[in-house]
């Protein structure tokens, strides 16, 4: 346990050393959040409902996206690919710590630090737009009525964190066999992940035949389904099914990440200096 705490401390200190990089990243995230929020506010205008969503529900969905982007879609394991290609991985292999545990520990620190600033940003937006938590007004942030909703949201969000970690780790491990790792991650992150996870809009505004196909992939369980739970738009059976499918994908990508890592590391030859 001590070595993981020490690793967490070192990771946190790295952020203090490279503060400008972190501030630029937070600025980018905040701009994305603002752009998405004002886009949907402009779409709604004076309307209270659009595409089956109340205005308050869409506002809440966008705020939820900002929150879930931080705790789910952020991952330091993306740095593993460049380490493999440059030969820096050799140094990590000599340390008395498992590689997956190493990157997950760094992930936890990254998520915790970014979450702190995300909460501040969300509260700033709530104050700026004068959003309310009372249902009597038009612009309010939706809060679930039932305690079981909070529990279900927490369970699926926690599973989504692990699912995305193993997804990201699997993509990084592909660097053992290809040099174009960033092109692969860009295609995955922008085309598949952001769109299919529902990180821009709720997926159920798409044609039903398309959503049925998307629901079979692991992506909607990262953002879309947790927010559907929060908005209390799923019944108990649908929540259980969402958690079950997410669990299946989680087990699969855990197995795939471990399998590819062992196979790649076994034949690893250090590149670079």
Contact partners, residue 202, CB within 8 Å, separation at least 6 = 51, 53, 58, 61, 224, 227, 228
Summary mean pLDDT of the chain: 84
Residue 29 clears pLDDT 60, i.e. is over it: yes
Q: Residue 221: which pLDDT band, with cuts at 50, 70 and 90?
A: very high
CB atoms closer than 10 angstroms to residue 71: 18
Contact partners, residue 102, CB within 8 Å, separation at least 6 = 7, 92, 95
Of 213 and 23, more confident: 213
CA angle in degrees (0–180, nearest 5) for 144-220-27: 80
The number of residues in the chain equals 273
Which of 80-84, 131-135, 236-240 is predicted with the least confidence, judged by mean pLDDT?
131-135
Residues facing residue 132 across a β-bridge: 140
Distance CA 95, CA 10 (A): 14
- Arithmetic mean of pLDDT, 144-156: 93
CB atoms closer than 10 angstroms to residue 254: 17
Residue 182 clears pLDDT 70, i.e. is over it: no
Looking at residue 23, its pLDDT comes to 78
Looking at residue 269, its pLDDT comes to 57
Q: Residue 250: which pLDDT band, with cuts at 50, 70 and 90?
A: very high
Residue 13 clears pLDDT 80, i.e. is over it: no
How far, in Å, are 12, 15, 190 from residue 110 at the CA level? 8, 9, 21
72-127 tens-digit pLDDT: 987 777 777 777 777 777 777 777 778 888 888 888 888 888 888 899 988 888 88
CB atoms closer than 10 angstroms to residue 241: 14
Helices 19-44 + 55-71 axis angle, to 10: 160
Of 150 and 74, more confident: 150
What percentage of the chain has pLDDT greater than the value 70?
88
Looking at residue 219, its pLDDT comes to 94
Residue 216 clears pLDDT 50, i.e. is over it: yes
- Residue 198 φ then ψ, to 5°: 80, 30
Using DSSP's 3-state secondary structure scheme, residue 235 falls into coil
33-56 tens-digit pLDDT: 889 998 998 998 888 888 888 888
Looking at residue 272, its pLDDT comes to 45
Of 7 and 67, more confident: 67
Q: Residue 210: which pLDDT band, with cuts at 50, 70 and 90?
A: very high
The CA-based diameter of the chain, rounded to the nearest angstrom, is 64
Indicate the pTM of the whole model. Answer: 0.88
Determine whether 176 is exposed, middle or buried from the number of CB atoms within 10 Å of its CB (0-12, 13-18, 19+).
buried
What is the pairing mode between strands 53-54 and 49-50?
Answer: antiparallel
């Amino acid at each position: 346990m001590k070595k993981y705490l020490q690793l967490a401390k070192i990771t946190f200190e790295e952020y203090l050393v490279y503060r400008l990089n972190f501030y630029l990243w937070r600025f980018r995230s905040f701009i994305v959040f603002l752009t998405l929020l004002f886009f949907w506010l402009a779409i709604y205008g004076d309307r209270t409902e659009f595409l089956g969503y109340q205005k308050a529900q869409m506002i809440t969905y966008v705020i939820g996206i900002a929150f879930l982007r931080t705790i789910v879609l952020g991952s330091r394991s993306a740095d593993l690919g460049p380490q493999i290609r440059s030969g820096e991985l050799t140094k990590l292999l000599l340390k008395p710590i498992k590689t997956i545990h190493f990157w997950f520990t760094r992930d936890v620190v990254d998520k915790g630090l970014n979450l702190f600033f995300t909460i501040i940003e969300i509260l700033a937006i709530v104050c700026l737009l004068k959003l309310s938590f009372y249902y009597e007004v038009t612009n309010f942030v939706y809060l679930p009525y039932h305690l079981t909703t909070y529990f279900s949201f927490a369970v699926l969000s926690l599973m989504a964190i692990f699912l995305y970690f193993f997804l990201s780790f699997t993509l990084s491990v592909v660097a053992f066999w290809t040099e174009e790792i960033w092109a692969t991650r860009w295609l995955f992150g922008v085309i598949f992940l952001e769109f299919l996870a529902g990180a821009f809009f709720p997926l159920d505004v798409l044609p039903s035949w398309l959503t049925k196909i998307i629901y079979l992939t692991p992506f909607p369980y990262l953002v879309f389904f947790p927010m559907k739970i929060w908005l209390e738009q799923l019944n108990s059976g649908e929540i259980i099914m969402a958690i079950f499918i997410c669990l299946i994908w989680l087990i699969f990508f855990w197995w795939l990440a471990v399998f590819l890592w062992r196979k790649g590391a076994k034949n690893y030859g250090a590149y670079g200096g």
